[in-house]
Amino acid sequence: MKPIKNWKLLGAEDNRVNIECDGRHVLHFFVLESNVIRVLLKKNGKLQLENSWCISPNDSLNGSEMGWEGRDRMSTEGFTCPDFTVAEQDGQLSISTSSLRVTLSKPLKLTWEYADAAGEWHYLAADRHSGAYMLGVQSNDIHHYMARDLSEKYYGLGEKTGDLNRHGSRYQMRNIDAMGYDAKNTDPLYKHIPFYITKTEQASFGVFYDNLSTSWFDLGNELDNYHGYYRSYHADEGDLDFYFMYGEKVVDVTKTYVNLTGRTIFGPKWSLGYSGSTMLYTDAENAQEQLGDFIKHCENHSMPCDSFQLSSGYTSIGNKRYVFNWNTSKVPNPLKLSADFHQAGLKLAANIKPCLLQDHPRFEEVASQNLFIQDSEFDAPESSQFWDDSGSHLDFTNPNTIQWWKKNVTEQLLEKGIDSTWNDNNEYEVWDSNARCFGFGKQTPIKLIRPLQPLLMMRASYEAQTEFAPNLRPYLISRSGCPGMQRYVQTWSGDNRTSWQTLRYNTRMGVGMSLSGLYNLGHDVGGFSGDRPDPELFVRWVQNGVMHPRFTIHSWNDDKTVNEPWMYPEVTPIIREAMTLRYRLMPYLYDLLWQAHKHHEPMLRPTFLDHEADARTYEESDDFLLGKDLLVASVVEQGQRTRSVYLPDNGDGWYDFHRKTWYAGGQDISLPAALEEIPLLARAGSVITTSNRIAHVDAEKDTQRQLLVFPFKGAGQRDLSVFDDDGLSTGYLDGKYLLLNITLKSDLERIDLNISREGEWQPAYKEMSFVLPENEQRPFYVNGKQIERSQAVALSSLI
């Protein structure tokens, strides 16, 4: 490695400032937004990778996309590119917007400042004072070192194990199939998200490195006496290209990052329902019969369900799996299978994998068309270990591969009634680092773009689905990916191992993923691998899972049992009650998905995200917020029957969701946590919309709405909104939706709700009823008219 020391200003053009470094490198500063400045270093004046696929700024609601070949790295399309100033004085150079300033000093070091409301500048961050930027001499590795303050908190990096605050730890970005991982310690895992947030005592900022090669983040694990406290980023290959984004609050940084990398996909409402899955059904010789039995069990046990995910056993020949190959001895009639599920109101998602085993019936067909990634040395497909054999990975940087994939998704799945694609085992563990990808006509080694392949895989599946059913919103799932994957899929934390520790740390993993822009997520409820959960652990895991955007019970237990809602008769009623609560809250969950899509609001939230002034909320915790208004206090300890909860100090207090008892914020309380109960609190000043339909999602049968009103204890006012539509189509883009704009206001004398409506969609429910705490004595008014507690208001009466 060799540090970069000297620099000189070359000039400014458009929104870019150009700097020469050590006489041979070029450093670009792009002023993209008032709070976002991008830093791009061209080693020897050249880029290793000329395009980016992660950046999709300010994309439209209908998911407009860049070309398959990616986005020119020098492009600023989609950014506002505000005015800025450049000033050089006393050997330093400053680039300033209205809210963010970066100053270069020598040897090369960047110092970042932010402006307060009065326009005064304050220190935000800086590179370490020596050797801040280092480049490999005989290699392509790159290093960036920043100063580290011991009081700083670090959040993000996507799917990482351990505590939410990453300070003091070291992580690797290398997509890997980590089945049975330790949710407290294992690293790396499935996803590549090189973005993290720093929370200082005054403000917050994020750094996103747009680089897809294997990399490391050291956030205080390493010490070197010569440089003071520091944190570092190190990538084996690629370009040093990072986006520095300032935010007054942590949530501002997360939302800026999502705006940078792409809007969360707005999936159908049924994607939020319970989704069953297990390896055992499709591995069985009578798979179609066992899948049919799942439908009967849901009905017999009165378990609401919306979909089932077909694991890869439906493609097997012997004990191996072959993508796009239906095993008709296991599943004799795929069309009837789909029809049976649809008749019951359930959808089907099918597992698909991007690697063809060397004895796949269609291997030679695909190889002859050069659709695989190619070996680095020989004129042949690369060969990698994949499941129980060797295989070759499809190359999604080849347009012919994309078309082959879309054709097979359509013919082998969609035309057979499959509703969704489950893009799995797509970590692309191709360790021939120079294996050749087509690169859309610019041959590219896999080491530069490994996480891009799953991103393009899911886009190909997405396009197949949207072209097959253009009026329906697609639902896709993917295990692996990189920044931008939220544009296409819902995701989960991979093949976890059954234990109480996993339940606890999966929750923290999920909140960390959410802070990293992956809002629509969940975990394999009950644990995927290892021993089956005992009844108590299973109950607590289901109670946790129903409070996540994705709720799937999935397993491959060592003893060949199946995690099913009815697996333990003694607790089946408790499982049913937890799932009932989820379906009651379906309107609230659906609105959260809309808020994530429309406004970049995280669905899962650490308690500090909405209570930054409360220092207690930064402590490591098993609590989290579902949306802004529900505080979930999951039970993650065996035998626990009371739950201590710290209530964030929001100034208004909290209500026990079940008993409607009010508590002031800023205190510890103890809640009952009987096995059949989910400790849950609602924010005072909230309105939670619920449904009485405890069955698969069907807008035409969803005929009742209740608004749970949790009023301020004294005076207060808050504006809210609730979105709804048919839950399936793209009609919302043309005004076919219902948006209720609600103002909740109260004082010591009365409680008022003022409700107005937007949109043309007419729901099956024609009126709304209201539920207030039983001990609430103040009169209640809706749009100025006093309402009795049992009285309903017609939607047609709203403006």
Average pLDDT over residues 10-30: 97
Map tokens 């003022």 to a residue. 754
Average pLDDT over residues 44-50: 97
pLDDT at 59: 75
pLDDT at 62: 55
Average pLDDT over residues 608-620: 98
Average pLDDT over residues 380-405: 97
* pLDDT above 70: residue 63: no
Quick check: do 2-49+75-261 and 262-492 share a fold? Answer: no
Average pLDDT over residues 341-349: 98
Report CA Rg, the chain.
27
Cis peptide before 188 (omega within 30 of 0): yes
pLDDT tens digits for range 741-755: 999 999 999 999 999
Contact predicate 4/21, CB 8 Å: yes
Residue 530, both tokens: 């290892």
Beta strand 85-89 with 316-317 is unpaired
pLDDT tens digits for range 115-171: 999 999 999 999 999 999 999 998 999 999 999 999 999 999 999 999 999 999 999
CA dihedral 662, 537, 542, 571 (to 10 degrees): -90
Contacts of 707 (CB under 8 A, 6+ apart): 687, 688, 689, 690, 753, 768, 769, 770, 771
Residue 649, both tokens: 């100090």
DSSP code for 529: B
pLDDT tens digits for range 475-532: 999 999 999 999 999 999 999 999 999 999 999 999 999 999 999 999 999 999 999 9
pLDDT at 788: 86
Among residues of the chain, what percentage have pLDDT more than 90? 97
Looking at domain 604-683, what is its CATH homologous superfamily?
Golgi alpha-mannosidase II (2.60.40.1180)
Domain ranges of the chain: 2-49+75-261, 262-492, 498-584, 604-683, 697-797
* pLDDT above 90: residue 305: yes
Average pLDDT over residues 379-407: 97
pLDDT tens digits for range 355-366: 999 999 999 999
Threshold 0.75, pTM exceeds: yes
Looking at domain 2-49+75-261, what is its CATH homologous superfamily?
glycosyl hydrolase (family 31) (2.60.40.1760)
CA dihedral 778, 784, 787, 792 (to 10 degrees): -140
pLDDT at 198: 98
pLDDT at 791: 82
Note the Cα 409 to chain centre separation in Å: 24
CA distances from 110 to 35, 75, 128, 247, 777 (A): 16, 23, 9, 18, 60
Across all residues in the chain, what is the average pLDDT?
97
Average pLDDT over residues 774-791: 91
pLDDT tens digits for range 695-711: 999 999 999 999 999 99
* pLDDT above 80: residue 61: no
| Band of pLDDT at residue 64, cut at 50, 70 and 90 | low
Q: Which CATH class is domain 697-797?
A: mainly beta
Among residues of the chain, what percentage have pLDDT more than 70? 99
pLDDT at 697: 98
| CATH match for 262-492 among 3.20.20.150, 3.20.20.80, 3.30.540.10, 3.30.420.40 | 3.20.20.80
* pLDDT above 70: residue 351: yes
Q: Which residues pair with 351 in a beta bridge?
A: 422
Sequence-ordered strand ranges (E) for 311-430 = 316-317, 320-321, 347-352, 355-357, 384-386, 389-393, 420-423
